[in-house]
């Protein structure tokens, strides 16, 4: 299967109070087209930094991240911005949305900013509404963002991440601020997107979330200590066994 992301000897170093903090140390891995990969590890292990660096949201210190054949390390800020806008989708634990816009307008905003999304205004509007309908939140389209629940808002964030039909979604703790019911709803929608062909890489602390992924990478002190291939998640019947198997492996890793 073709790789959509190839990370080679990636390093990320911060200088804090004149002291060097090596957050990522020679990290290398690939993500195949259509995979759903979870990144797990202790707090402060470099999970979120890894996500932001491979996607070009944070500047790497050394190494490279090659996305769809494009070397992120040599792209200008303008080129990176366009790549993230058109070919990547982002979902965060904190659901950043503009307070002066309705939920639907927040979802549509990236499509109006994109130079490669050639749909007409009406086509973009219809697609945004279709996404909301698909995720069961069309009834909150005209609401302000402070008038909806956390689960609804996170599903709106998924809609926004999909508005330009990205090749890959990067999600940083997408269920971290949600209760169990809302978390399961969001993971159901992400799984549907993955089944339809969208590649997903997500950071999580939750074994139940990771068990629905194809593969889990475990990172400790800026190094990938191990990987576990769970295979494609098909149905709820297999979930408990996947969770148990993954939990055992994580314990072996020092979770």
Alpha-helical runs (H) found in 75-225? 77-87, 103-113, 121-134, 150-162, 180-195, 207-210
> Per CATH, which fold does 3-253 belong to?
Rossmann fold (3.40.50)
Confidence of residue 117 (pLDDT cuts 50, 70, 90): confident
Q: Which candidate, 217, 206, 212, 215, places its Cα nearest to that of 235?
A: 212
Query: Which pLDDT tens digit goes with each residue over 6-38?
Result: 999 999 998 877 788 888 999 999 999 999 999
Residues 171, 91: contact at Cβ < 8 Å? yes
How far apart, in whole angstroms, are the C-alpha atoms of residue 107 and residue 89?
12
Query: Would you kindly state where each structural domain of the chain is located, as residue ranges?
Result: 3-253
E strand or H helix at 241, and its extent? helix 239-253
The mean pLDDT of 51-76, rounded to a whole number, is: 95
Q: What average pLDDT is seen over the chain?
A: 92
Provide, rounded to the nearest whole percent, the portion of the chain with pLDDT above 70: 100
């Amino acid at each position: 299967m073709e790789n959509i992301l190839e990370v080679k000897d990636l390093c990320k170093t911060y200088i804090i109070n004149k002291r060097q903090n090596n957050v990522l140390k020679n990290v290398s891995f690939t993500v195949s087209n259509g995979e759903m990969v979870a990144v797990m590890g202790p707090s402060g292990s470099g999970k979120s930094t890894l996500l932001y660096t491979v996607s070009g949201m944070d500047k790497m210190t050394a190494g490279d991240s090659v996305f769809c054949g494009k070397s992120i390390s040599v792209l200008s800020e303008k080129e990176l911005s366009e790549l993230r806008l058109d070919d990547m989708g982002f979902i965060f634990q904190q659901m950043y949305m503009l307070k002066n816009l309705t939920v639907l307008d927040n979802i549509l905003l990236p499509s109006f900013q994109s130079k490669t999304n050639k749909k007409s205004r009406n086509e973009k509007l219809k697609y945004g509404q279709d996404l909301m309908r698909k995720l069961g939140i069309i009834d909150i389209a005209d609401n302000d963002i402070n008038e909806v629940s956390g689960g609804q808002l996170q599903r709106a964030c998924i809609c926004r991440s999909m508005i330009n039909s990205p090749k890959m979604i990067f999600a940083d703790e997408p269920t971290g601020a949600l209760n169990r019911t809302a978390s399961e709803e969001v993971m159901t929608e992400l799984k549907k997107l993955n089944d339809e062909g969208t590649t997903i890489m997500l950071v999580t602390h939750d074994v139940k979330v990771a068990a629905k992924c194809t593969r889990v990478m475990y990172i400790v002190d800026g190094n990938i200590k191990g990987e576990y291939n769970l295979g494609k998640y098909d149905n709820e019947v297999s979930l408990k066994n996947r969770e148990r198997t993954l939990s055992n492996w994580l314990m072996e890793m020092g979770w």
